Amino acid sequence: MTHPLVTIARAELGAHETSNNQGPGIQKYWGATSYGPEGYANREPWCAAFVAWCVFLYLGGATKRRPQSAAVRDWVPAALRLGWKVFGPRDGLFFPRAGDIVVFTFSHIGIVEDFDGTHITTIEGNTDDDGGREGREVAERRRALSICKSFIRPPEVAK
């Protein structure tokens, strides 16, 4: 069974920019952040806005406590304040699984779709064909565990 957060993210595959950090499918992501429409108007990178929007839908809307930052660096501290599980790639007690959020070593963020022991498959916003963080679309990527900095496990929601 697919994790609901992954289902939400997968539905966005193919959303892409029509100009630098802007496009009809991208503008909606900013509404789930504390930065709001300014991020879109300022043509800011949108990988964290994409994750914030997916988490917003997963948790059932604005009434739920959730990270709302459009800055990747804020996600781990926000998750810790909320009491969400945060762990490293070599934790030994926890391993990434579908529905986790991954923070990369190069200031980028995505949603874990699968983990095979050495690599994760992710769905990421603002990525490109080379897997960069200054991309143009929502896409699926296969990433080495070695470039993962932290994993965040959102709370389970009632079905």
Stated pTM of the model: 0.94
User: If you average pLDDT over residues 4-27, what whole number do you get?
Assistant: 93
Residue 93 has pLDDT above 70, yes or no: yes
Structure-block tokens of residue 19 = 């100009």
Report the alpha-carbon distance of residue 95 to residue 111 in Å, rounded.
Answer: 14
Q: Count the domains in the chain.
A: 1
Asked whether residue 43 is assigned to any structural domain, the reply reads yes
CA-based nearest residue to 123, from 32, 12, 2: 12
Q: What is the pLDDT of residues 19-63, one digit of tens each?
A: 998 998 899 999 999 887 888 888 889 999 999 999 999 998 765
Asked whether residue 158 is assigned to any structural domain, the reply reads no
Enclosing domain of residue 115: 4-153
Asked whether residue 57 is assigned to any structural domain, the reply reads yes
User: If you average pLDDT over residues 131-140, what whole number do you get?
Assistant: 87
Residue 140: give its domain's CATH number.
Answer: 3.90.1720
Asked whether residue 159 is assigned to any structural domain, the reply reads no
Residue 113 has pLDDT above 70, yes or no: yes
Distances (CA, A) of 51 to 90, 92, 94: 23, 25, 21
Which residue's entry shows tokens 């952040």? 33
Pairing of strands 101-104, 109-115: antiparallel
